[in-house]
Structure 1
Amino acid sequence: MIRSVIFCFALVILFSVIVHVKPQVCYGMNQYDRCSKNTACGCLPIINTNQTAICGILEVNCSQFIPCKSLTNECDLLGAVCVQHPGCNDLPVCYPLSMGDERSCPITRNWINTGSMKYSRYMHQAIALVDGKVLVMGGIGDKAIAHKTAELYDGSVGIWTATGNMTYARFGHTASALKNGKILVTGGNGNGKYLNTAELYDPSTRTWTTTGNMSCTRFGHRASVLANGKVLVTGGDGRTQYLNTAELYDPSTETWTLTDSMKSARYRHTATVLTNGKVLVTGGYADVYMNTTELYDPTTETWTTVAAMNKAISLHTASLLSNGKVLITGGVTPVADTLKNALLFDPTTESWTSTSNMNHERHTHTASVLPTGEVLVTGGFYTTNTIGYSSTVLNSAELYNPTTETWTSVSNMTTARGMHTAFVLVNRKVLIAGGSNNESINSAEIY
């Protein structure tokens, strides 16, 4: 305790006497949490200070900083402290105290264009590989033709490279990262043919191989990776009927087995794996829009109905927050109204509460949970009287703060898009890829 007091006193002396500046200290905030009005600055942890942090610029060229001493994590540079910086792969660098204030934060656009995909696509899937690259596959391309193509995004250089094609062209499919590092793709629509096929992508060989088929064709279904490594597939459009069936894929045997059916048939719903291992399914469509929700228990392999949402919706998003709650945003209703509403599901009480509305109505958008715990919502469509994709396409984006339960608008994307994908990269940035603005898009941008 005495040592801590002495150090804190020394830190104050360093701040106020040696360099004659008063850097902005972060109190009660997590590592890299935003400490400025824009997203340019975050809390940089000062090494060896019991998690004291200063407000510093996040977007920097690491070469402008001197590394801290390897053994002591100290700085020879006068007026600098040793911090952990995300722009330097979390390595300790000497950060000038004169830059430790939000007033030094640059004005940021938030969005920058990155390399375009080889092919335009929407209703595709994107998923991270163990090496940090992002695999994009399938979707609808030019002339409304489904893709079997796949490509890889390398965030360190900002470029896309082609990888092996899938066996089947498909859109409206699912993609799941297995514990063995492979990617499982299931179902979808292959240019008018609904699919029950599944295939595996092996990152080590960059090739696809077919695996066991599902019990039935599915489009607009959902896939969830369970704690035991199996994949739960739920619902979907089976072409002749909407489905309430569910099945489990076992990666060790590459086979499917039916499990307990959902209480209600549905497609274009959401399925979220909760921190307790159960799977929450919400909303969707099956001749009518649905407000019902249910929970799947992997231990008993059974479904139970829980409290319904206050509105029947489809084409919404569901995000698992760091506090264990699930955030539902937007969607479209039975009368074709697009919603700005947001709801919170609490697994401990299995109940719903309303939270602040978004600033914009939207459906077929994306929602990404950031390392800060905030949720970034992007794009989508705004429909008022028709259900379809001739709606207004949105380029707006906004952030949800779970602590204050409030929304803040951020700068618009460079391209309006819906039915796109969003993925949080290992460098903590968000990759937006593809989508539709009444035409298939191949552009990508970074938040």
Structure 2
Amino acid sequence: MKYLLVCLIFVTGCRNSWALHRRINDDGSDMTFRNSTNNDICYCSARNYDTGATVQNFGIASKCTKSASTGCSCDYMSSCFSICLVNFNRWTSTLPYCGGYRGKFIASITMNDCGNHFIGSIAKQCNSAQNSIKSSILTQTTLNSIEVVPFLLIRLTGTLLPSGTLLIIGGTSIAHSYPSFEAYISSSDKWIVLPSLSIPRHEHTATLLSSGHLLITGGQTTDRNIYSSCELYDSSHKTWKIVPDMSSKRSRHAAVLLKSHKVMIIGGQNESLLSSCETYDASSNTWTLVANMILPRMFHSATLLSSGKVLVVGGNYPNSSACEKYDPVSNIWTSIASMSTGRFLHTTTLLSDGKLFIVGGFDGGKNYWHSCEVYDPQSNQWTSVANMTTQRAGHTATLLPSGKILVTGGVAGQSILDGLSTCEIYDPALNTWTPVRNMSTPRFQHIAALLPSGKILVAGGISAPFSEAYDPTSNTWTPVTKFP
């Protein structure tokens, strides 16, 4: 699934560290824009804007100078703006995040020196009749305070500690992966920055060990740069330790903490889909290959059952309705009953009665599901239950203390334009879905965590530069404290 839109809110007070390039209009003149206060907007790119893979950099500044030798040179200390940036190589319908304008837009991805975050400016409208770019600014919003935000990311991991602290690691903004590591301390409602990973990662796994340490495995920066490397975070000393590599490079795999306290890594992809599996033993700091799955898969879910067996559901492969179960004692995989439909980027929630609740997902083609089904490990049977009100994949599902399940966000198409802010709650006792208050912004491939307070914190999602918390009692969303 490839997403083409990037919506970001940026920072003030950070000096930009881009390498600036000169960009000219089709007629050879310099491409320069001005905002409402007549400040230059320097557009910096060395690529053609009609190339779908183009990544272009530009920014708003209060003071800019240009010369024939250096091009555009700006003072970025004064002000930056919120922005909606899109990379389309096609005409599109109304863009809700970009002020409702129709047109072809240009992407901008870059970094600044304030800690691996973004800085940028407003995209510009195309003339659909002439299929040419206009030199005009659509919208702009000045930020009133200095703000560095870590949540312009998808495909990150979130791990909730018993103390109620949420650890958020890595992620990607589509153009870049990050080694960032932040923690939300729910008891004091504050964020802290922790030591970064040794390398940027997304599509990795994070598993909390019995010791309280956190194991990070695999991941990637691009589909051509996939890792076998792993890191172990010592929460007592707040330090990272490099541990032995896995036997295979893996991304989009699954990880489960077994009853033996070993971590089992399942499937994923490198140059191809993987059926291989291996376990990490923290006591000996070693990896051991175990039996392969029956089918290779990625974007699947893996759940530890009360029996100690591991149930694997779905995934992106030719027969994505197939499921299988692993017995760590016998080291054997067994096929089980298939789901009613193939799905990946779904969610799997272990219910209090030991059954598994499967929600939504995508079939790898054009179908996004609102269907749901429940698996009973005792009878090896699937039962279809009520459909969600909305089709979605890349969403989150959180089991509430009441036994109900909160589903947030996701996407229902192959563009961020199809991102969802809608949320709904499933009641297993009544077999009904009830829409609840929307999030303040669409999110997909984000994370959600149930806090000790009973609220649900969501963070990440490429269009969401902040986190917010949902209170099931009052049916309200509230922004959490700003990142420092």
Structure 2 length-normalised TM: 0.65
**Superposition misfits of 4+ residues, deviation over 3 angstroms:** 115-119, 388-391
Matched, 1:248 2:274: no
Between the aligned partners of 2:158 and 2:443, the Cα distance in structure 1 is 16
C-alpha distance 117-129 of structure 1, shift in aligned 2 (>3 A): farther
Matches within 5 A, 1:161-310: 161-191=192-222, 192-238=224-270, 240-286=271-317, 288=318, 290-310=320-340
What's the counterpart of residue 382 of structure 1? Answer: 412
Matches within 5 A, 1:28-427: 117-118=149-150, 120-141=152-173, 144-191=175-222, 192-238=224-270, 240-286=271-317, 288=318, 290-383=320-413, 388-427=414-453
Between the aligned partners of 1:119 and 1:415, the Cα distance in structure 2 is 12
Does structure 2 retain, via aligned residues, the 8 Å contact 1:221–1:236?
A: yes
Between the aligned partners of 2:364 and 2:438, the Cα distance in structure 1 is 29
Q: Which amino acid aligns with 1:321?
A: L
Match of 1:443 among 451, 455, 466: 466
Between the aligned partners of 1:256 and 1:202, the Cα distance in structure 2 is 19
Cα deviation, 1:337-380, whole Å, max 9, x if unaligned, reads: 11000000001011111011111100000011111111110000
Q: Which stretches in structure 1 are left out of the alignment for 5+ residues?
A: 1-114
What's the counterpart of residue 61 of structure 1? Answer: none
Structure 1 length-normalised TM: 0.70
Count residues with an aligned counterpart: 323
Q: Which stretches in structure 2 are left out of the alignment for 5+ residues?
A: 1-146, 471-484
- Alpha-carbon offset, residue 389 of structure 1: 3.8
Between the aligned partners of 1:116 and 1:229, the Cα distance in structure 2 is 38
Cα deviation, 1:104-156, whole Å, max 9, x if unaligned, reads: xxxxxxxxxxx985453211000012432111010013x72100010010112
Q: Which amino acid aligns with 2:342?
A: A
Cα deviation, 1:312-353, whole Å, max 9, x if unaligned, reads: 111111000011110000011243211000000001011111
1:431 is paired with a residue whose SS is strand
Between the aligned partners of 1:428 and 1:276, the Cα distance in structure 2 is 28
Between the aligned partners of 1:328 and 1:221, the Cα distance in structure 2 is 18
Cα deviation, 1:30-57, whole Å, max 9, x if unaligned, reads: xxxxxxxxxxxxxxxxxxxxxxxxxxxx
What's the counterpart of residue 101 of structure 1? Answer: none
What's the counterpart of residue 64 of structure 2? Answer: none
Between the aligned partners of 1:237 and 1:327, the Cα distance in structure 2 is 25
Does structure 2 retain, via aligned residues, the 8 Å contact 1:329–1:341?
A: yes
Between the aligned partners of 1:157 and 1:414, the Cα distance in structure 2 is 23
Percent identical pairs in the alignment equals 37
- Alpha-carbon offset, residue 158 of structure 1: 2.1
Between the aligned partners of 1:199 and 1:446, the Cα distance in structure 2 is 30
Between the aligned partners of 2:321 and 2:465, the Cα distance in structure 1 is 34
Higher helix share: 1
Cα deviation, 1:62-114, whole Å, max 9, x if unaligned, reads: xxxxxxxxxxxxxxxxxxxxxxxxxxxxxxxxxxxxxxxxxxxxxxxxxxxxx
Between the aligned partners of 1:154 and 1:341, the Cα distance in structure 2 is 35
Q: Which amino acid aligns with 1:125?
A: T
Q: Which amino acid aligns with 1:182?
A: H
What's the counterpart of residue 83 of structure 1? Answer: none
